[in-house]
Amino acid sequence: MEPRHYLPRNISFRYLRRKHWGGGSAPSKRIAERIAREPEIWPDPGRRRDSGALKAFAVKRKIGLVTPYFPTARNHLKAFFDECGIEIAKAVHFSCTSPVLIAHVPCERLVAAINEVNGADVEAIVQFGANLPMGRVAAEAEDAFG
């Protein structure tokens, strides 16, 4: 049976940390397997989507990372990107204390974070984590950096 619905998964790190996260992509695979038992839904494991996006942009080695999470998340995020063959060269962690506060990070701080993680050795800047208001800022950065 062909799935009738496509489900791109953007699951909060806070949820994964509390219930499933152990680093790497194993938690993502377990969640995808559980969802896949529903015959009308086709889940998209985050690792496949994220590594596919990095390949599409010819990113082979190093990224700059912008995330709403605390620096303690770095080991988990490192394990995730290590499986993609990608190194986190630089990272900015906003250390937001609640999901609501993530959505209230000012654009000026997002711009400063992008500039901080950008560099000659960085092939792409990745926002990892839901709720950051990064859409407009990312589009402007893409125009500025090319």
- Give the whole-angstrom CA distance, residue 1 versus residue 5: 12
Q: Is the dihedral of CA 82, 7, 27, 13 positive or negative?
A: positive
- Give the whole-angstrom CA distance, residue 9 versus residue 104: 22
Three-class DSSP category at 129: coil
How much is the pTM?
0.69
> What pLDDT, in 10s, does the model give residues 101-137?
999 999 999 999 999 999 899 998 888 887 888 888 8
The answer to whether 133 and 103 have CB atoms below 8 angstroms apart is: yes
The CATH number of the domain holding residue 26 is 3.40.50.12500
> What pLDDT, in 10s, does the model give residues 32-75?
677 667 655 555 555 555 666 777 778 889 999 999 999 988 88
* Residue-range definition of the domain harbouring residue 44: 5-145
Q: How many domains does the chain have?
A: 1
